[in-house]
């Protein structure tokens, strides 16, 4: 008898790189993070599944010619259709209607400030919480043009609580579910001055990974920063124009 699926609603559980050149994106990230790509049959197509240390953590998808290159972050929800319909009823921009997608159900939309994101409900549950392995996704952060508008949306739509702290760059809001931090939110100009979700990958050495990324054609979005109890982190824009964060996690965080 199979175990009952366990869910961590509000957690970002999957990440897809959307670009016009999947092969180029795959080559860059495999060289940078040591990921591997496995072709998984999905209907009449083959899905390029990203594996880190033998576990699936995301994938690559070809974006339309006019679509911006980006990482789209998938948040776990109890009911994809109900959440999508609520977003649609609020008059917000929708990006993908609910659909079966591999071992789960997906939909995508943009928040009130224009940041795109996806919703996911997997048939097999969500990845468990625990220490982030090197090469794994460690944190997800919203850079928004309007803190108040974003907070109201994510609190009401996804049931997040909020813990706010002061930083040298202003207020930083932790979005929590059942007391567990699931994402961050802060006012900041994102890539091209737009609101965006920025996912962070755990690495053994932030500075060495940054140097390697730059040598392969990436550009620096912001320089490495140290934060007590968090780690050392920075962000890059990959050669295809998608922002992504890099973090060496402080031992105490785990």
- 58-114 pLDDT, tens digit per residue, is 999 999 878 899 999 999 999 999 999 999 999 999 999 999 998 999 999 999 999
Distance CA 97, CA 106 (A): 8
Q: Which helix (H) or strand (E) holds 107?
A: strand 104-110
* Full set of structural domains in the chain with CATH: 12-122 (3.10.180.10), 137-253 (3.10.180.10)
In angstroms, the CA 199 to CA 123 distance is 24
pLDDT at site 64: 81
pLDDT at 43: 81
- Residue 85 is predicted with a pLDDT of 98
How confident is the model at residue 2, as a pLDDT? 56
Q: Which of 29, 3, 118, 110 is nearest to 72 (CA)?
A: 118
Q: Are 254 and 82 in contact (CB under 8 A)?
A: no
Number of Cβ atoms within 10 Å of the Cβ of 47: 18
Q: What's the pLDDT tens digit per position in 176-219?
A: 999 999 999 999 989 999 999 999 999 999 999 999 999 999 99
Give me the residue label for tokens 């929590």: 176
> Do the beta carbons of residue 145 and residue 176 sit within 8 Å?
no
pLDDT tens track for 19-65: 999 999 999 999 999 999 999 998 888 999 999 999 999 999 999 87
* Dist. CA 5–CA 241, nearest whole Å: 36
Answer for the pair 116, 72: CB distance below 8 angstroms, yes or no: yes
Pick from 154, 155, 151, 173: which is nearest to 164 by CA? Answer: 173
Which residue, among 43, 3, 6, 10, has the nearest Cα to 157 in the 3D structure?
Answer: 10
- pLDDT for 1: 43
Separation of alpha carbons 88 and 227, rounded Å: 38
Please identify which residue in the block is written with the tokens 């990959």: 238
DSSP per-residue string spanning 133-160: PTTSEEEEEEEES-HHHHHHHHHHHH--
Tens-place pLDDT, residues 122-181: 999 999 999 999 999 999 999 999 999 999 999 999 999 999 999 888 999 999 999 999
Return the DSSP state at 5.
P
**207 beta partners:** none
């Amino acid at each position: 008898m199979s175990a009952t699926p366990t869910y961590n609603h509000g957690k970002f559980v999957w990440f897809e790189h959307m670009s016009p050149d999947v092969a180029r994106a795959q080559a860059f990230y495999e060289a940078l993070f040591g990921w591997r790509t496995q072709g998984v049959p999905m209907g009449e197509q083959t899905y390029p599944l990203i594996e880190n240390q033998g576990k699936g953590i995301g994938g690559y998808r070809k974006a339309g010619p006019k679509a911006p290159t980006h990482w789209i972050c998938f948040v776990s929800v109890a009911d994809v259709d109900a959440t999508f319909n609520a977003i649609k009823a609020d008059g917000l921009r929708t990006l993908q209607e609910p659909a079966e997608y591999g071992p789960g159900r997906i939909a995508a939309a943009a928040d009130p400030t224009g940041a795109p994101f996806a919703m996911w409900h997997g048939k097999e549950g969500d990845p468990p919480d625990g220490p982030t392995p090197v090469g794994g996704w460690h944190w997800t952060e919203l850079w928004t043009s309007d803190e108040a508008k974003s907070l109201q949306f994510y609190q009401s739509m996804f049931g997040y609580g909020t813990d706010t702290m002061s930083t040298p760059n202003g207020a930083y809001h932790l979005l929590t579910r059942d007391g567990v931090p699931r994402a961050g939110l802060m006012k900041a100009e994102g890539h091209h001055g737009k609101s965006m979700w920025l996912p962070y990958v755990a690495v053994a050495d932030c500075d060495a990974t940054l140097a390697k990324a730059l040598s392969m054609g990436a550009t620096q979005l912001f320089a490495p920063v140290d934060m007590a109890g968090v780690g050392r982190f920075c962000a890059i824009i990959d050669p295809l124009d998608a922002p992504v964060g890099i973090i060496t996690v402080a031992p105490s965080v785990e």
